[in-house]
Structure 1
């Protein structure tokens, strides 16, 4: 998913990606929340997820618009 996401980046729409490894995170709630959904992508952690397992390109484009 990460590589496909990076291909959506353009000079006009730059973004950063924070990768969190839930298996090594000191926060056990992350593993409890996302264990079966990884990889999961959020535009903002306080909003619903954009997609999980596979990149939903349309959802990402809507978020970036």
Structure 2
């Protein structure tokens, strides 16, 4: 089953992606997890993080760069 079939919530592209393509990341939020994929190869693989782990990661990046 592809990532698109597994994740039923909308995928949102990173605000850092820009309009020229390049290195793009998309995320899809679910009730208990965050899904992450490469927008150029959406059917290839999806990383899934528990919601608490995703929150800890993004908070760490915000505070410590």
Q: TM-score over 0.5 for the alignment?
A: no
For normalisation by structure 1, the TM-score amounts to 0.28
**Going by fraction, where is strand more abundant, 1 or 2?**
2
- The two structures have a TM-score, normalised by structure 2, of 0.28
Of Structure 1 and Structure 2, which has the larger fraction of its residues in helix?
1
